A and B are shown apart, each in its own frame.
Chain A
Amino acid sequence: MLTRAQITPLAPDEASLSAAESLAASRAWVTLARSDRALWAEIHGSGKTPYRVCADISATSNRCTCPSRKHPCKHVLALLLRAADAPDAINHAEEPSWVLPLFTAKLKHPATEPPIAKRADDTARAADRAKRAAKREQRITDGVAECRVWLDDLLSEGLAAARTRPSEFWERPAARLVDAQAPGLARCLRRLRDAVIAPGDWASRGLERAASLHLLLRAHERLAEIPEPLRHEVRSRIGWTITKEEVLASERVRDTWVVVGAVEEQDDRLRVRRTWLWGTQTAQEAVVLDYTIANRAFGPSPPVGAAFEGMLAFYPGARRCRALIDEQTHAPWPANIGDATFDQALARHAEALAADPWVESTLAIVRDVRFLTHDGAWVVADREGAFLPLVGDPPWRAVAIGGGQPIAIAAEYDGHDVRPMSVWAGATVWPLGTKP
């Protein structure tokens, strides 16, 4: 069962939340019941027949018959809030048939979609598409060449000089890359800027990012020589996209997946959320990316601390890490997941780097770690005393939960320091970084 704190971020906006608050305490409820995996209710709305609302226990999927275009709608939120406030007041009952689609519905598959009727001008369209793609290739190639010159100049002039430049020094070439239809490269360039203007060990990080960008530019020049899976990585990093349908059409992986962390970041004008998953049997990490703009809420995603039996469809690439969640059923949080030491977690990072030299961060799940101060800075140490520095503010919540005793941690590791996302002891998982 979710807590209020986990429900609040699901709301698409503040209005839905306050509407749900009033609704939860109102007398509009006709029925309200639960089973081990689901909650459902009938609730009076403006129509004659009451709306049927149902939600998975972990709120990973939910449905409502109301016509609202918001998702989740206020009825779903009210149902979850009510369950959060008084979980014991809801009676167990037999699931009605209308709750079942919650667990059987899947994302739309290309195979299940009715085939689009062939048209006479289909071949003409294909030719058109090929022509557009070729045009884009040409633009990108030009953009890459221009960017290489810019990058070489940057190194010749020195990073120290670049650090003092005004923002348009970086924005102009980034905008040129966007015009060249290579938004991914623009993103790499902005990350290089972020590294160079950051405090601390900026010169070393800056050179790393510059080298990574250089490698990507070179890889594009020799794209034909690169083997298939890695070529996908290069193309996606440059900015070619692939549709969800294509991803779902590829092979999928079944496992018991645990949601170990979620990180939100501002990426130019977009906000991106990385939800990290770990497959307990396949010992494989996966990341689900969601995008949104301004202060709009993200789409639904399983909350940190959830575990589910289900299928993931991976995007093509050398590492196959980015994924889409295809189907899921609630499962208990398994014991003993992750690595015993940081050495093992770092070895995973090295493996990832070998498969994909552009990898930014990998998942590190280590059991029995402790948070402590070393030389005046907070670090996280494993059972052997190996320690890594932490990024950002001191991890107070984790320190309070650990209390000097060993706990398990899930973190993003970027080759330098770790960003903790959650800690757990036993089956109780605490997400970090957000409000409780």
Chain B
Amino acid sequence: MTNFGASSWKESVAAALIGLNRSPTTCDAASFLDQSCIASAARRAGRMPPRLPEAPPFAPHAAPSQTCSRDAARILSDIIVLGDALLIAEWALLAADRCMTVPPALLPDVLDTAAAYPRLRDLIEPVLGERGMWLATHRSQWRAAVPSFAAESAEAVWETGKRAERFAALRALRRRNADAARALIDSSWKSLPATDRTDTIAVIAETLSMLDEPFLESCLDDRAVTVQQAAAQALARLPKSRFANRMRQRLTACVCLSHDAADKWRTGVRRGTLILRPPAACDDAMRRDGIVHRYNPAEAESWYGITQDDAHLWRVDEPWWLMQIIAAAPPGCGFRHEGASASPDDLILAAMAHEQAHVPLTGWRYSAALHRDPDWAEALLERWCVPSGDLSYVESLWPALTPSQRDRIGPMILDSRAARSHRVHLAVQLLDHACLELSRACLDAIEQSAKQQHVDLESVARRVHRSLATEALAMSRRILDTSYAHASHVANRILTIRARLAEEFPA
């Protein structure tokens, strides 16, 4: 007789596994399968689900009654369908302002985004809400993607985590408790490889303060050149650091604005004259402060924006050293006139008259961008970049400007003679941080030149001011209709969503 018990099913499975030929069962395959049919049906039909040992505890919080408006939820769900992380971040930024949170059903996608894009985590955390934080505790990669949790467990992760996780945890800890982060770095500094030390300094540089100065100063003696240079770059941004002091002293010895010339300028005859006396040698102290001894095309291009075409200007060492010193100090530092610094405009005009104009100008451009000095950025763009037609520095100086400065300088750049050949490219760059007025001007410029020049509609869609998204959408359609531009519906979808965002979250 067939026995339906569990043990007999196990025996049957064992027999089937090794094969009836090899098993002790005596019956043939057909009757074995007959019995298995009955046993299998009985097993499935008679199954009782197992019980939990005790009634499961309820989650400590009630269901969220209101997370965000219905339309905001729809927009977010459409963004997720589109799969665009940057739009999720934009949604989060707007929703956080209005104390909205992500509706529960969309939390997994938003947490996945946070896990995949470490840079967006700080934006996403505020909109997770109680439910989102609770959900994140259930999965390790989500837990690591919530900066508060990452900061809590930073010590453990820093010791044992994977590389990306470790730096995400360090970053999170540093934003919340900079002292603890400093202690953590100190405790493990000696055992870190050079790449990790460089990246650690990059994390420190994100939220820099004078409290980091002693540590960074000590890093100038590091045995790895990359660490030294990273520390020097970070220290250059601290005007009160010992590093900045040394640079200032060097500059005082090397440059000045001639007094006589300044007098003449005051009477309206001539502008001042710069006097440049490059250092005679690159001594050890200078090298310790990150001054590169020999011109090196790769570093020169990535740091100072010096293209290969200008390489011949820097082959002589002395101007090359001087430029680096100027770049490492705050813009205009050292060029003093009767105790007070001269205005950026005067200095730039004076520099442009100098036969070695490229030395101070390249240095100032770098330090104006580094210090985000709006006056210097404006003066450099207006007096030097636009008149000389060298617009390659617009991109780095643009973020330093204030909104009103952008409104003033933007049209100047777009209308300049040098801009003609790549007007669309420039207009797309200027869309970043642009106010309404200027954004409109940029859109007009893009449309005018769309037939001659390639338009990266996706960049336009991402950068344009949100409240102009509808206008940009109409423009994008016109461009797609009239030109042979690659039909990118992604741009149109992004614009559609951003237009809806502008409507849902009015400024």
Contacts and interface: CB of A to CB of B under 8 A. Distances in A.
Interface string B12-47: 110011111110000011101110110111001111
B48 A346 contact: yes
Contacts of B473: 25
B50 A211 contact: no
B492 A385 contact: no
Nearest to B80: A436
20 contacts: A4-B81, A8-B81, A155-B19, A157-B19, A158-B19, A159-B17, A160-B17, A206-B16, A212-B40, A353-B41, A384-B51, A386-B51, A387-B49, A396-B108, A399-B135, A400-B105, A400-B135, A403-B104, A403-B135, A436-B109
Contact of A21 (B21, B64, B496): B496
Nearest to B106: A436
Contact of B80 (A354, A370, A399, A435): A435
A4 B77 contact: yes
Interface in A347-384: 349-350, 353-354, 357, 370, 372-374, 381, 384
Nearest to B49: A386
A215 interface: yes
B425 interface: no
A164 B29 CA distance: 21
B400 to A, nearest CB: 37
B477 interface: yes
A400 B492 contact: no
A158 B17 contact: yes
Contacts of B105: 397, 400-401, 430, 436
A135 B98 CA distance: 73
A67 to B, nearest CB: 24
Contacts of B50: 386-387
A145 B226 CA distance: 76
B37 A211 contact: yes
B37 to A, nearest CB: 4
B4 to A, nearest CB: 13
Contacts of A208: 36, 40, 44
A159 B16 contact: yes
Given A4-B77, A21-B493, A206-B16, A85 B45 contact: no
B16 A212 contact: no
A342 interface: yes
Contacts of B131: 400, 403
B13 A400 contact: no
A203 B33 contact: no
A3 interface: yes
Interface stretch (B55-63, B200-208, B271-279, B457-465): B55-63
A207 interface: yes
Interface in A384-413: 384-388, 394, 396-397, 399-401, 403-405
A18 interface: yes
A427 interface: no
B33 A155 contact: yes
Given A156-B19, A403-B59, A436-B80, A349 B44 contact: yes
A343 interface: yes
A61 B206 CA distance: 56
B265 interface: no
Contacts of B106: 400, 436
Nearest to A397: B108
Interface in A198-255: 203-204, 206-208, 210-212, 214-215, 218
Which of B61, B106, B138 has the most chain A CB within a 10 Å cutoff?
B138
A340 interface: no
A227 B398 CA distance: 83
Q: Is the interface of A mostly helix, strand, loop or mixed?
A: helix
B286 to A, nearest CB: 56
A175 interface: no
A243 B69 CA distance: 48
B59 A404 contact: yes
Q: Is the interface of B mostly helix, strand, loop or mixed?
A: helix
A149 to B, nearest CB: 9
Contacts of A425: 63
Interface in B482-507: 489, 492-493, 496, 500
A349 B56 contact: no
A346 to B, nearest CB: 6
B341 to A, nearest CB: 54
Contact of B33 (A25, A210, A394): A210
Given A151-B29, A158-B22, A401-B105, A436 B81 contact: yes
A84 interface: yes
B58 A4 contact: no
A394 B18 CA distance: 34
B107 interface: yes
Given A4-B78, A157-B19, A405-B62, 14 more contacts: A155-B19, A157-B21, A159-B19, A204-B13, A211-B33, A212-B40, A215-B37, A218-B34, A353-B44, A373-B138, A396-B135, A400-B104, A404-B58, A436-B105
B49 A346 contact: yes
B74 interface: yes
Contacts of A435: 80-81, 109
Contacts of B135: 396, 399-400, 403
A151 B45 contact: no
Given A160-B18, A399-B135, A405-B63, A415 B36 contact: no
A387 B104 contact: no
B477 A22 contact: yes
A385 B74 contact: no
B27 to A, nearest CB: 11
Which of B13, B56, B58, B106 has the most chain A CB within a 10 Å cutoff?
B56
A415 B104 contact: no
Contacts of B20: 155-156, 158
Given A343-B48, A397-B108, A404 B81 contact: no
A330 B78 CA distance: 25
B183 interface: no
Contacts of A430: 105
Given A350-B46, A388-B49, A22 B492 contact: yes
Contact of B54 (A157, A385, A396): A385
Contacts of A373: 138
Contacts of A388: 49
Contacts of A381: 52, 56
Given A208-B40, A387-B50, A400-B104, A155 B500 contact: no
B40 A387 contact: no
A133 interface: no
A415 B43 CA distance: 9
B134 interface: yes
Nearest to B51: A385
B52 A385 contact: yes
A127 interface: no
A346 B47 CA distance: 8
A43 to B, nearest CB: 17
A350 B131 CA distance: 38
A5 interface: yes
B190 interface: no
Contact of A156 (B13, B29, B36): B29
Contacts of A158: 16-22
